[in-house]
Amino acid sequence: MLPRVTTNDSYMRVFQYKMLNNVLYLNKKLHQFGKKNSPLCSFCNVAEETPEHAFCECSYTQNLWNQLTTFLQPSIAMPPLIPQSALVGYPEETNFLKSILYNHLLLIFKLFIYRNRESGSLRFIALKRQIISIFKTEIKTESLFRQNQKYSQKWSPISPLLENEN
């Protein structure tokens, strides 16, 4: 249910569903199917590209996560990225809105990694632009449809940080 509460974006929900049900095909499985020449990671080219490796263990992924947490540090302290959280998300905390924000940022992060596998490049500036774009879209949607401030509340811990990045 976590992706359902975290975002209204159906593509992100399906992406997380595929991860949870082990049907998100990365290089290791694609190589087994004969669709890729190598089972190795698209970024580091050292280890087999599995969900655990691609979304948590790869040095490129870890570097990108560190850049993201440093960027967000003035406003929030993101929980550490461990294999369990990289696959299923962060369990609900006492602060429900923070939990939703953490999980949405994590979902954006994972989808960004997945989409950039072909290029083999993970640039923090592009990830930051993606987060800001989603933030603006949700806030604009909320104001257009006069919704119940769900998005504003979710993004509130980091909205000043994102607004200043224009």
Q: What is the chain's alpha carbon radius of gyration, rounded to the nearest angstrom?
A: 16
Angle made by CA atoms 140, 89, 5, in degrees to the nearest 5: 40
Q: Do the beta carbons of residue 113 and residue 68 sit within 8 Å? A: no
Q: Tens of pLDDT along 49-68?
A: 999 999 999 999 999 999 99
| pLDDT for res 93 | 64
CB atoms within 10 A of CB 151: 23
pLDDT at 18 over 80: yes
DSSP, collapsed to helix, strand or coil, labels residue 70 as: helix
As for how many domains the chain has, the answer is: 1
Q: Tens of pLDDT along 97-139?
A: 788 999 999 999 999 999 999 999 999 999 999 999 999 998 8
Owning domain of residue 10? 2-163
pLDDT at 147 over 70: no
